A and B are shown apart, each in its own frame.
Chain A
Amino acid sequence: MNKPLRRVAVFCGLLVLALLLRVNYVQFVQADQLSNDVHNRRVAINQYAQPRGDIIVDGKAITGHTTTTGSDFKYKRTYTNGPMWAPVTGYASQAYGTTMLEGVQDKFLTGDDDRLFFNRTIDLLTGKEKKGGNVVTTLNAKAQEAAYKGLGAKKGAVAAIDPRTGAILALASTPSFDPSTIAGNSQTDAKNWVALDKKNDPDDPSLNRALRQTYPPGSTFKLVTAAAALETGKITDIDKGTESPDPYTLPGTTVPLPNEGNIPCKNATLRIALRYSCNSVFGKLGADIGLKDMTDEAEKFGFNQEQFVPVRANAGNFDTKMSPDQVALSSIGQFDTAATPLQMAMVAAAIANNGTLMQPYEIDKLVAPNLSTIAQTSPKELSKPLSPENAQKLQSMMETVVNEGTGTNARIPGVKVGGKTGTAQHGLNNDQNPYAWFVSYAMTDQGSPVAVAVVVEDSSANRSDITGGGLAAPIAKKVMEAVLNK
């Protein structure tokens, strides 16, 4: 009976071997995939098993943490001034994941980033609790506050950039929400989460309007058209008549493009046309420049491309296939043209920085829990939409707008301010209240420290009050003053 016994022994050996191979496959080959699976709750548990690193503005943390009981998660995120900073921080929620900086730098904030390996190892050896790294932002607390308070109860957004480096100084969006209220995984958090949903709150408070909402830029887009006119050489002298009729008939159609109110647009110079925001002049210019050159210039300013700051910002839109009349309409910021507030702040920043557009960025550096710097962002040039001479011509025109044109509400005594207002029509037959835009920059002897774009979509305001100069310019002025420290 020993021969079959030995065979049975081999069979049992094979059974055990199969088991050993299987556990090796599961625990070694598949281990990474399984341990990081989205449905594996350990991922979330580990994320909140230690205090999360902080997001820092001007040397002060705008985030914090508390401990929770009664759930798998030990630590819960808290936010100082949550609604004001929500477009920057996003949220880190035990139940609903992470967004914005919390999402982009999640691994660093939880301490799982490979760059923190050394720190983790030291902590392990010295028996210290694992800690997350800190994210130091480029934001300016005062500018952010000015933007958020300036928007107040109105619906809108503000984006401010340092034109010299591309550092983002303010990103405000109203109405906003407090990320602290959805940071946990309790019933209350769930209720708050449901209430935030767009279906339940038409104001969509969790939408980051500064980065993720595109609006028709209206007349503020005329800056891009003016830049294209200068760059293509269509206009060399900004104080010479442009030989444009009033009203201008859209090419290939019999539709007239009128101007708002009684303004001197017939054969106006470029400076006058920008000061009074002449549709006829810029519509004709756009059509004359043509689709290709207009698209090129818009794309040099960053249109048609998502920006990663490192949080993703939606792409602005300037169509690449249009008939001449559509090009004319697009050149005054209507038709399908769309831009995020960040995109328009980039336009103003490029002009203020003498034609060089810097890559916008939100994170100055990443620091380890022991405060050593792990990564530092260095400013990077994105493109050169304008030559310095043309940029200075455009600056001169924008300063005219603020000093004696539609943007006088943004004047700051003793500082050179350039700006452009916009009132973007939207809705079928313009039946909805338009968006009020204002983009501007402030200039000192050391160049321009701030460019800002403000959009206010306040449907409750009286229609005749909705102009970029009236609604948006005062907010931009406050933000610029905050940065200038006035």
Chain B
Amino acid sequence: MSASNTTTITSIGAPNRRNTELALLVFAVAIPVFAYANVGLAKNDAVPAGLLGYGLGLGLLAGVAHLLVRKFAPYSDPLMLPIATLLNGLGLVLIWRLDQEPRLGRAMAPNQLMWSTLGVALFVCVLVFLKDHRILQRYTYISMFAALILLVLPIFFPAVYGARIWITIPGVGSLQPGEFAKIIITVFFAGYLMVKRDALALASRRFMGLYLPRGRDLGPILVIWAMSLLILVFETDLGTSLLFFGLFVIMLYVATERTSWIVFGLLLSSAGAVAVASYESHVQVRVQNWLHPLALQHGDVTETAQAMYAFGSGGLFGSGLGQGYSRLIGGIAPKSDYILATVGEELGLAGLMAILLLYALLIERGIRTALAARDPFGKLLAIGLSGAFALQVFVVAGGVTGLIPLTGMTMPFLAQGGSSVIANWALVAILLRISDTARRPAPSPAPSPDAEATQVVRTQ
């Protein structure tokens, strides 16, 4: 095995791997189609009538996306599109499966399919119109304002399920701006840090083995810390605040290569968490549920306990798709926040680990893209997007399985929710764009009469 073929870092002679992507996409479409048939057989003893249409639809989406990737980002990473397609497809099957339960409200799979189509459309648009990710650098400060507006907007809308994270547009539906803000704020961070990294990294005093940054450089981190606290307080959105703050700390660390930022970040976030938790009842309830997942509330089993029962009853291999009782969790939760509980119950430990590993693989490809990227902005943007994705997966999956207190966030691609699925498709598109640039073979040097005498030096 030659090193040049297995790593994305090397640019010379790397095959573009589009056929690998195509082969993987076949699986990414076939697996959800089989899962769909499986649910139909389990629930109604018949192959679902929509199987052909659904399969063709998903196949068409994947096919169009693939063709456009072939055309517009030929050297991009071959794994990301199939993984996203597979997760999205499985999510659709799971939501359709939960639609079969009479007590879980109206059917949401058709909507989700529509949102997924829009998501793929946005994915394609990004690939077609964003020729080079470095263009985003120009919009650093515009991004900051856009992100702030998106984050602040939900405050003016009523809280839904105890969290103020939606904006409702009459006639269109509700939107979760936090999902989009996640990407836009990463663009801002990447642009800002690329410019300021030297100042943040070098202009500092040494104190007890740590580099203490100057007050004026410390400013932005304090602003972000305060902002994430404000989100937590006004929107009671634990997940988003954790996500933004973690994202910023990771990007600062990568940009400055200073461990002290992490120490500061941890200190500030724990201080903030303790401060908020001590008077915010919403957070206290979550912590209580986390500490005592099976405790009864007013004589009733809590959602947390129902999710734990679902996981426990799933065991190693699960009850089989369509044969579990996720409906016991109740409300809309099994289709959104708690969709992993359905995975755990019906696909078992084996299925849940497979899903988590798919996420891990997607994150890993994102970080690889960051490593491979040749420009600091691309590196920061890629690590920011992958880091945000990783944190989100960890926060949701950890919350649902009881590893950490539950926060209201959606499992990327899997959970019901239009904003989430669209935003994550866009996120994957940007990562693909960066990886395409990173893996594109360097243009061969222009033929020159004195080529023989000149040594070409490439700089990384």
User: A residues within 8 Å of B by Cβ?
Assistant: 1-9, 11-13, 15-16, 18-20, 22-24, 26-28, 30-35, 37, 39-42, 45, 72
A-B contacts counted at CB < 8 A amount to 135
Q: Does B421 contact A (CB under 8 A)?
A: no
Q: Does B379 belong to the interface (CB within 8 Å)? A: yes
Taking the nearest CB of chain A, how far is it from the CB of B148, in angstroms?
25
User: Which residues does chain A contribute within 8 Å of B313, judged by CB atoms?
Assistant: 31, 34-35, 40, 42
Kindly report which residue of chain A lies nearest to residue B360, judged by CB atoms: A16
Return the chain A residue nearest B348 by Cβ.
A27
Interface range on chain B: under 10, 10 to 19, 20 to 34, or 35 or more? 35 or more
- Given A23-B356, A39-B301, answer yes or no on A28-B316 (Cβ-Cβ < 8 Å): yes
The reply to whether the CB of B344 lies closer than 8 angstroms to some CB of chain A is yes
Closest residue of chain B to A4 (Cβ to Cβ) is: B254
Are A19 and B367 in contact, with the CB atoms below 8 A?
no
Query: Mind listing 15 A-B residue pairs with CB under 8 Å?
Result: A4-B253, A7-B253, A8-B383, A12-B390, A16-B356, A16-B390, A19-B394, A19-B401, A22-B402, A23-B344, A27-B311, A27-B348, A34-B309, A37-B312, A42-B325
**Which residues of chain B from 341 to 364 have a CB within 8 Å of any chain A CB?**
344, 348-349, 352-353, 356-357, 359-360, 363-364
B417 within 8 A of A: no
A110 to chain B, nearest CB (A): 16
Let me know if B398 and A26 touch, CB within 8 A.
no
Q: Which residues on the B side are within 8 Å of A28 (C-beta)?
A: 315-316, 349
**Do residues B294 and A39 form an inter-chain contact, with CB atoms below 8 A?**
yes
Q: Is B125 an interface residue (CB 8 A)?
A: no
Contact of B312 with A6 in the complex, beta carbons under 8 Å: no
Are B367 and A42 touching (Cβ within 8 A)?
Answer: no
Tell which of A6, A18, A37 touches B403, judged by Cβ atoms closer than 8 Å.
A18
Chain A CB within 8 A of B255 CB: yes
A23 touches B328 (CB 8 A): no
Bound: A39/B301 CA distance, A? 7
Question: How far is A8 from B249 in the complex, measured between Cα atoms in Å?
Answer: 11
Interface of chain B residues 281 through 336 with chain A (CB within 8 A): 294, 296, 301, 305, 308-309, 311-316, 325, 328
Most B CB atoms within 10 A — which of A5, A8, A20? A5
Is A12 within 8 A of B363, CB to CB? yes
The 8 Å CB contact of B305, one of A2, A15, A20, A39, is: A39
Quick check: is B273 within 8 A (CB to CB) of the other chain?
no
Q: Which residues of B contact A35 (CB under 8 A)?
A: 309, 312-313, 315
Other than the known A1-B254, A4-B253, what 5 A-B pairs have Cβ atoms closer than 8 Å?
A15-B394, A16-B363, A26-B312, A27-B352, A30-B308
In-complex Cβ contact of A27 among B316, B364, B383, B394 (8 A):
B316
Q: Distance in Å from the Cβ of A432 to the closest Cβ of chain B?
A: 39
B254 contacts A24, C-beta separation under 8 Å: no
Bound together, the chains give a CA A1 to CA B198 distance in angstroms of: 12
B86, chain A: closest CB distance, angstroms: 17
Nearest Cβ on chain B to A101's Cβ, whole angstroms: 27
Do B312 and A33 touch (CB < 8 A)?
Answer: yes
Q: What residue of chain B has the Cβ atom nearest to residue A33's Cβ?
A: B312
| Residues of chain B at the chain A interface (Cβ within 8 Å) | 250, 253-255, 257, 294, 296, 301, 305, 308-309, 311-316, 325, 328, 344, 348-349, 352-353, 356-357, 359-360, 363-364, 367, 370-371, 376, 379-380, 383, 386-387, 390-391, 393-394, 397-398, 401-403
CB-defined contacts of A41 to chain B, threshold 8 Å: 301, 309, 325, 328
When the two chains form their complex, are residues B356 and A40 in contact, meaning their CB atoms are under 8 A apart? no
A12, A22, A42: the one within 8 Å of B387 (CB): A12
The answer to whether B296 touches A19, judged by C-beta atoms less than 8 angstroms apart, is no
- Is B257 touching A3 in the complex (CB atoms < 8 A)? yes
Q: Do B250 and A31 touch across chains, with their CB atoms under 8 A apart?
A: no
Given A22-B401, A26-B312: A8 and B253 interface contact (C-beta under 8 Å): yes
Residue of A nearest to B340 (CB): A23
Residue ID in chain A nearest B314 by CB atoms: A27
Closest to B257 in A: A4
Query: Given the known A-B contacts A1-B255, A12-B387, A19-B401, are A26 and B308 also in contact in the complex, defined by CB atoms under 8 Å?
Result: yes
Contact assessment for A34 and B311 in the assembled complex, using a CB-CB cutoff below 8 Å: yes
Across the interface, name the chain B residue whose C-beta is closest to A10: B367
Cα-based distance from A3 to B391 in the complex (angstroms):
20
From A2, A20, A26, A72, B325 is in contact (CB under 8 Å) with A72
CB distance from B9 to the nearest CB of A (A): 9
Residue of A nearest to B309 (CB): A40
Interface centre among B250, B312, B359, B402 (most CB of A within 10 A): B312
Q: Hey, which chain A residues are within 8 Å of B370, CB to CB?
A: 5
* Cross-interface CB contact of A24 among B349, B387, B394, cutoff 8 Å: B349
Q: Which of B250, B255, B360, B401 contacts A26 (CB 8 A)?
A: B401
CA separation between A402 and B101, bound complex, in Å? 68
Nearest-neighbour CB distance to chain A for B454, whole angstroms, equals 29
Instruction: Provide the bound-state CA to CA distance between A6 and B301, in Å.
Output: 43
List the A side residues contacting B391 at CB < 8 Å: 15
Q: Given the complex, which residues of B lie within 8 Å of A11, measured CB to CB?
A: 250
Known: A1-B376, A16-B360, A39-B294. A34 touches B325 (CB 8 A): no
Q: Contacts of A2 on B, CB cut-off 8 Å?
A: 371
Among residues of B, the one whose C-beta sits closest to the C-beta of A72 is: B325
Least CB distance from B221 to A in Å reads: 16
Q: How far is the CB of A476 from chain B (nearest CB, A)?
A: 47
What CA separation (Å) do A248 and B233 show in the bound complex? 87
Contacts of B254 in A (CB 8 A): 1, 4-5, 8
The residue of chain B having its C-beta at the shortest distance from the C-beta of A3 within the complex is: B257
A37 in contact with B309 given A12-B363, A19-B397 (CB within 8 Å): yes
A338 to chain B: closest CB distance in Å?
37
Residue from A26, A32, A33, A42 having most chain B Cβ neighbours under 10 A = A26
Chain A residues within 8 Å of B312, by CB: 26-27, 30-35, 37, 40
Take A4-B254, A19-B398, A19-B403 as given contacts and tell me if A27 and B363 are in contact as well, using a CB distance cutoff of 8 Å. no
Distance between Cα atoms of A41 and B345 in the complex (Å): 14
CA distance A7 to B258 in the complex (A): 12
